[in-house]
Structures are given as C-alpha cells and as structure tokens.
Structure 1
C-alpha cells in the first residue's frame, strides 16, 4: 500500500489490490465448486453426501480463516504507522495459532462428527459419504490453516497478486485429483464423492508448500525473515489476535453457518431436494466472491489509512468500495437470473433435479444485493478494528431473525424447502441495514478520537 492523493489514484490502487484477491477467492472457491459439480455427476447420493459434508466444513473453514484474518488489519495498521519491524513476530504467532486451532478442530471432529451425522435424517450411503469426505478434508487442515496465516502476511503488504498466482497454480492440481479419485481414472481407486475430500487435502498441501517457498525466498517477503529467529508462543500476542480475530471469525461463521443450518434442516426432505439446494448455494456462492473480495481489499486499504490517521482517505476508499460492490451485486443478480437453467446442468443431467436447482436459483437472485452491501461494510469495519458489535449484529440478523423466519415459512406456508431461502434473504437484508448504521457510528467515533488526540 502507499499514500494516494486523488480519487482516481485511490480507485486505481484499490482495483489493483482487489482484482488479484477476486481471482484468488474465485480460485479457492472453485475447488469447492469442482468438488460439488463432479460429485453430482457421480450420482445424486454422492452430491447429497458432499453437500452435507460441505455444510459442516465450510462454517468451520471460514470461521477459522476469519480468526487468522486478524493478522491483516494488525499488519496493515503497523505498516501504515511505520512499525514493520514487528511483522515477523506477528506472522510467527499466527502460524502457532493456526497449529493450535487445527488441533482443536481435530479433537472436536473426532468426538462430534458421528453424533452430528446421527442426528440427521440421511440415507445411510449419503451419511457414509459425508463422513469420509470430511475425513479426507481433515488431512489437509493443518497446511490450509497455516496458509491462511501466511496469506494475511502477503495481503497486508498489498502483494495480492502473489496469492492469486499460487491459487491459479493449485486449480489444475485440484481438478486432476478430483477427476481421478472420484471416477477412478488412471488406476486410482474410484471413491465417488469421498474422493473430492482427499483431492482437496492434496491441493491444500500443494498450496502450503508453494506459499512457504515464496515467503522464504521471494522479495519483498524474504526481507522480513519470518522463518529466522523463531519466537515461542506469546500468550499476549495470541490474546491480541484472538480478541480481534474471534469476533471476525464468529461473524463469518454465523453468516456461512446459516446456509449450513438450512442444509441440515432440509435433511427432512428428499435426497434430490438436498442436492438441488446445495447445487444452487454452490453456484450463487461463486458470485459471492465478488463482494468478499471487495471486503478483503477494503480491510487492507482502510486499515492502512486508519493506521496513518488519514481518515478522509479511509472514507474515500469506503465510498469507492461500497459503490463498486453494489454495482457488481446488481450484475450478479442479472447473471444468476439469466444463467439459472444452463447452470443447473453443470451439476446434473437429470431433468427433474435440474428443474429443482433452477427454482432455488431464482431465490438466490434476491440476496445478491444484500450481500453486496453488508460484506464490504464488514471489511471496512475490520480495517478500523471494529469487530465485536458487527459480530453481535450478525448473530441477531442470521440466527435470531433469519433462521426462525425461514423455518416458519418452510413449516407453515406452501413454500416448503424454499421457505428457508426466504429466511436467508431476510437475514442478509437485516444484517446489511445494521452494519450500515454501525459504520456511520464508527466513522464518527474514530474522527472524534483523532480530534481529541490532537
């Protein structure tokens, strides 16, 4: 990042930071997209099993990634304030924290996976696929979480093209191993949907290896010597990371887990309904990478300017980012509406299942705009290190308002499973309104704090 002096410069710099993030996010999500699409062609049961497995995994993945995301605003504000000498220490603590979080998730998974699956009304084969898909993914947890810590370091320097290139290198690896492990090509065992989990684990190890090499050998990262003079675990640094990262992680967890909760509640319906719901979520979530990328870029830009106490510049980035995300959100709604029928056949050749997917995608059109507002605002608030109130807002919007509304619509109206999507739209809209108000409050308080310091 660098200081800018005009709106045109800010737009150009934000775009240069954001578009590699977008390519990275789309690339990372394409791994899940490929898992789901290829599993669907292995059979409806495989798609349902992977759907349930993904619905349990994605909230954990995004929640842990959110905790480790605390590195980005911390390092960005340090850079803006001229305190880059602390970079190596914080990155090392982020890696230690990633190891600890991996151990915690592994222990919880060992004791809770079977009981959670037993609570669901799944066909035995679908439950088996879900369990072993998750076991396969688990083999790649450690490298994936450490990669997330290292990515926070890379992105905080504004070097987002680096993570983009690493992700693009990984996509062919993921596609190849999905193909051979799901369908049993080239002498590999035919594992069906289970193979998608192991393919993802192999890909995570590949990403980890390339990222470690890059941060150790390639400038400007090698200049920070993050692997030399290794520091032990610092509880004060962990406390700082967790105080900032836990609300971020929980905010993202509550937003993503409502989709997972809906998938689990849909276990009362047929395997085809579960598969169609997951396929529609999978396609719509691909376009969600656009506002998410705006959020990541805004965290970096706003964090840098806030650290340097250039609040007018932070406001300018906020306006540019939110307006840009809103425009892209409108475009995403149009894309889903126009492509809903061909998109359905990406996941299946069964006409009845494809028709169900198309119906779910119609509902997905309506929550694109809410996503395009609330997600970038979350990124701005993280740049200001304001994370606790947004967490409570997400909890209230999604779990106290959205999910109950969806359950009521599903149970007490003719909408059935589509009623849950009404709940998703409601939760996203309420969250967007709450966060917009919170941003106004934070900007006023931050400005007053600076005036008091002067």
Structure 2
C-alpha cells in the first residue's frame, strides 16, 4: 500500500511547482472580488448584495471567455511536448485574436443584458445600485480576456509564474484605487460601488500591460513573439481553438450559471440571505482557486505526456493530482467547519447575515472535496483534448441534478438558503463521479492501444 501511495506522492512536488503560481494568480482574481466585498460591505448589506447581483451576470460572461481561452493551453502544451515551436506560435497568435474578439463581444452582450436585472424579482434598491457597477466591470472584460490569452499561452509552456506576478501586483493597484474611489480621498470623489468598479477596470489594464512586458523580455518566449502577418492567419487553427474552446466554455457556463442561479434564488429570500450567500460563495471561491491551479497543472502535464505518447505515466501523473487535490480540500473543509462563526465577521457586522453565512459554510465544507476533484479531472480530460462528452456530463450534473435540488430545497418553507447549497453539493458530487469514470475509461483505452501498437 505504501509503495502504491508513494507512486503518486512522488509527483506532488512537481505538481505544486507548476500549480502554485496558478493558485496565487487565480486567488489574485478572487482577491479583487474579496477586496470589493470587504470595502463595499462597510457601506451596508444592500451595497454588498448589489455587488453580488452585478457580478452574477459578469461571472457568466467571464466563464464563457475564460473557457474559450483554456483551449490555448493544451494545444501549446502538446506542441511543446512534441518540440514544435512554430505550431505553438500559431496557436498563441490565433488565441490572442480569438480572446480579444471574445472580450469585445462579451462587453456588448452584457450591455444588452442589463434589462434582465429587472426581471429577476430582486430587491429594487439592489438592482439600482448594481447597474452602474456592472457597466464598468463589464468593460474590464476586454483587457482581462487579452490577459487570459497571454496567460494560457505561458501556462502551456509550463511557465505559470509570470501571470501570478502580474495578478498580485494588480491587486495592490486595485486596493489603492478602491480605497480612494469608494470612500473618497484627497481630491477624489466618494463613488462607493462605482469606485470599486473603476478600481477593477484600472487594475485589469495594468495586469495586461505587466504580463505582456514580462513575457516579451524573456528569451524563452522570444520565438513566439515573432508576430504573424495577417494573411498567415488560418481558419483551420481558429476552428481547432473553437472546437476545444466552445465545449470548455459550455462546461464553465453550466457550472457558473448554477452558482449564479443560487444567487438569484437567495435574492428571492431577501437582502440578508443574498448577502450571506455572497459571503459564503466568496470564501468557497478562494479555496476553489487552489483546485483550479491543480486543474491547470493537470491540463499541462497530461498534454505534455500526450505529446510524448507516454500514456502510462500520463495516467499516474493524473491520479497523483486527483489525490493531491483531495487531501488539500479536506484541510479546507475542516477549516470551514471550525471557523464558520468567525469568517463571516470579516465582511460585515449584521448578526442575521453572519448566522446565515455560518450555516452555508457547513455545506460548503462538504462540497470542497467534490468541487476540487471535478475541476482537476476536467483539467486532465482537457489535456487529452476530450471536451464534448465532459460538456454533456457537466450539463447533466449541474442542471438535471444540482438545480432541481437547489430549487426544491431552497424554498422558504423547506431548508431556505441552506437548501440552495444542497443543490450545489449534489451537482458537484455528480460531476466528480461521472468525470472520473470518463477519465479512467479513456486513459485505460489509450494504454491498451499503445501496447497493441508496440506488440
């Protein structure tokens, strides 16, 4: 048993070496939302609920854009594993064009979607506060999507640190502008929620500039910064990016839209319930970013092994990542249970909201394990460039299992806010089990085919 366990744990160091910059970088994105929540929470429960509501539609759009950008990583990783720099450069350049267009399109779609906010039976005061906040943050998706193209390219080459540096420094920029624009300082006006939105926009433009500046100066990346002429862009490459990116975007959309629907269901229970839901979601999102780092690592390492056609090692490395994320998320689950009454107090001092958030953190502790596993297994499948069937699995798990449970048990005469989170637990657990079955089947099949080829 110890020998079997060691077969996986010996990969933990390499997994973490690739994953930790992604973890910190992803945490940086969440910290932008955390800083907004902490600073806006001091303005009141209605303002905090408005940030939650405004970000609900933003996160749906964001999931689509990031999903498309994820197509860049496995293709660049496979090209890197095969030693094909020219093909990696092609994927990178086409990916920048795709992500830029996505950013502009998502911004325009969010502007057109604003009237939907009035149709969701949310508190009127919350909607009125959310709309101007949403306008500015929606525009910030343009620089963020371009940043994602550079980030996913660098991730594909197993260089995950530089995006982390840019994200963390951008957080300092965000905190600075939040402080002077939310509350008003020196010559700057007090803009409250709109000030938080401006802080996010400024920090995202800075983040893009910093990552571009770093990558352009590094010797390893210089061959990739020989820019492609416009006539050299090829539809088959765009199509391959789209064929990987669209299903990945749908996977993220199905999951994020489930969480977003829970925000809307919480809004039907009142402003305090929605504020409590936002606190619990924000805390759960921070631990989820650790799993996202290992998910990206799974895509990179599985993609590399696929490029080398070393499927036995690919399976072993993937299982080491599954074990690693399970152990890490188990620690977070314990932390949520032990600190459930303390963590919400960092956001605001409303007693009812704190009690509700503490109840939600108990359920959040339970779904840490399945949430972490499903994102890492999904990353491994993405490394295999298997995206269509996993997309169907995500739809089934989140919308045929998770949402009905959330809707039924989230009624005021059932379990209320806690019942909504039972739906999240059910959907994430179903996803983890079904995706594991899919990866186990594919990896065994590839090993058998390779053995048959060599015999």
Q: CA RMSD in A?
A: 1.8
**Residue aligning to 1:207:** 207
Residue equivalent to 1:164: 164
Verify the 8 A CA contact 1:76 1:156 in the aligned structure 2: yes
Unaligned stretches of 5+ residues in structure 2? 1-6
Q: Secondary structure at the match of 1:125?
A: helix
**1:382-423 C-alpha deviation (Å, 9 max, x unpaired):** 111111111110101101111011111123853122211111
* Alpha-carbon contact 2:79-2:85 (below 8 Å) kept: yes
Which residue is equivalent to 1:22? 23
Matches within 5 A, 1:375-454: 375-411=375-411, 413-451=413-451, 453-454=453-454
Matched, 1:102 2:98: no
Secondary structure at 2:83 match in 1? coil
**Residues 280 and 357 in structure 2, CA contact (< 8 A), matched pair in contact too:** yes
Cα distance, 1:230 vs structure 2 = 5.5
- What is the CA–CA distance in structure 2 between the aligned matches of 1:37 and 1:389, rounded to whole Å? 39
Contact 1:180/1:188 (8 A) holds in 2: yes
SS in 1 for 2:414: coil
Which position in structure 2 is the counterpart of 1:176?
176
Give the drift of 1:41.
1.1
1:73 touches 1:303 (CA, 8 Å); kept in 2? Answer: yes
Task: Report the counterpart of residue 321 of structure 2 in structure 1.
Answer: 321
Q: How far, CA to CA, are the matches of 1:389 and 1:417 in structure 2?
A: 32
Judged with a 3 Å threshold, the aligned counterparts in structure 2 of structure 1 residues 209 and 415 are, in CA distance, closer, same or farther, namely same
**The residue matched to 1:187 in structure 2 has which SS?**
coil
In structure 1, stretches of 5+ residues that fail to align are 1-5
Question: TM-score of the superposition, structure 2-length normalised?
Answer: 0.94
Q: How many residues align?
A: 448
Residue of structure 2 equivalent to 1:65: 66
Residue in structure 1 matched with residue 50 of structure 2 by the alignment: 49
Contact 2:64 2:249 in 1 (8 A): yes
Q: Is the Cα–Cα contact under 8 Å of residues 371 and 432 in structure 1 kept in the other structure?
A: yes
**1:374: how far off?**
1.1
DSSP 3-state at the match of 1:220 = helix
Compared CA separation, residues 305 and 367, structure 1 to 2 (3 A): same
Q: Matched residues in 2 for 1:374 and 1:129: separation? A: 35
Shift of 1:7: 6.3
Partner of 2:3: none
Structure 1 residue 157: Cα displacement: 1.1
Mapped to 2, the partners of 1:389 and 1:43 lie a distance apart of 44
Whether the 8 Å CA contact 2:269–2:412 is kept in 1: the answer is no
Shift of 1:141: 1.6
The 8 Å contact of residues 91 and 226 in structure 1, kept in 2 or not, is answered as no
Alpha-carbon deviation of 1:251? 0.6
Alpha carbons 1:76, 1:304 under 8 Å: kept: yes
